[in-house]
Amino acid sequence: MVMKYLDPKADLTFKKIFGNHPDRLKNLLNTLQSLNEDELIRQQQYLPTTEDLEVSGFTDAELRAYDKFWDSVSVERTLLDDRYQKGMEKGMEKGRAEGKHEANTETAQRLLTMGLSAEQVAKATQLPLEIIKNLSNS
């Protein structure tokens, strides 16, 4: 399998910015590299039009297996992320329910100390009467 590289000659944005103005590219590279006066790029150097391309060591079967492996890793990661999100939502719901119960219990204790009956407190806080009676005994 032949690896493809980005070709600045085929990149439309590159062509639009630098086009037939090699001085623009030289100035950009000199500015970005912060070179000394002796090291500045002064002229273009043309490389051979054909370069040795890196060839993959995979056979077609190995490449398909490799792609299949990474596809399964991607699917597994998606499933794990989904489970994590659902677990977080479930934990948040449980935390809110526990917080509401704790707040109702504290309200019930204050109402009991104000002298309200256990039945009135149970009706106001929507807590079971047994919990209210346990609070009044403690």
Give the pLDDT confidence of 58-115 residue by residue, as tens digits: 778 888 888 899 899 999 999 999 999 999 999 999 999 999 999 999 999 999 999 9
Residue 125: pLDDT band (50, 70, 90) is very high
Residue, of 134 and 32, whose pLDDT is higher: 134
Using CB atoms within 10 Å of the CB of residue 64, give its burial: 0 to 12 exposed, 13 to 18 middle, 19+ buried.
exposed
19 pLDDT above the threshold of 60: yes
- What are the backbone angles phi and psi of residue 80, rounded to the nearest 5°? -65, -40
pLDDT more than 70, % of the chain: 72
Considering the chain, what is the average pLDDT of its residues?
79
Give the pLDDT of residue 27. 75
Q: Where do the H-state alpha helices sit in 4-59? A: 12-18, 22-33
